[in-house]
Amino acid sequence: MDMQNQGIVKPKTQRAKRALETKAPKLVENTKSALFIRGGHTSETVTQALKDLSVFKKPEAVVLRRKNILRPFEDATSVVSLFIGDFLKKTLTQSSSCSLGFAWQVMSALLLPELI
């Protein structure tokens, strides 16, 4: 059988070989990074809680300082983050945690209503 029919691509250059080796399955996977994002309206309690959570994941954490309007429970396509803090009139103080799976699909989402 031809290798291209099986979906296996043989690298033609050394650069392509290194690129395929980095994408290959590993025994021990690399650590995953986490984004900490403030929502459009965020209370001081949620902001402080996100800062405290980012300390636990310090080397792999990226904290975005500006406000971002994200609605992870309404539209999952905009979620590329793991932790979102937001403030709404009905829910006051809330934080969301989403875990992403294969091909950036949302596997599970958790809403933490009160952080106080």
pLDDT in tens, 66-102: 766 666 556 555 554 455 555 555 555 555 555 555 5
3-state secondary structure 91-104: CEEEEEEEEECHHH
Q: Can you tell me which residue has the tokens 């650069």?
A: 15
Q: How far apart are CA 60 and CA 57, in angstroms?
A: 6
Per the model's pLDDT, the better-predicted residue between 3 and 10 turns out to be 10
Q: Can you tell me which residue has the tokens 């250059």?
A: 13
pLDDT in tens, 10-52: 889 999 999 888 888 888 877 777 777 777 777 777 778 888 8
Strand bridging mode 61-67 / 92-100: unpaired
Domain that holds residue 59: 34-112
Q: Which of 60, 115, 69 is nearest to 92 (CA)?
A: 115
Residues sharing a CB contact under 8 Å with residue 53, sequence separation 6 or more, in sequence order: 36, 83
Q: Can you tell me which residue has the tokens 């395929």?
A: 20
Question: Given strand 61-67, what is the order of strands in its sheet?
Answer: 61-67, 34-38, 83-88, 92-100, 106-112
Give the chain's domain count: 1
Q: How far apart are CA 43 and CA 89, in angstroms?
A: 11
Domain assignment present for 7: no
Domain assignment present for 102: yes
Domain assignment present for 1: no
Domain assignment present for 2: no
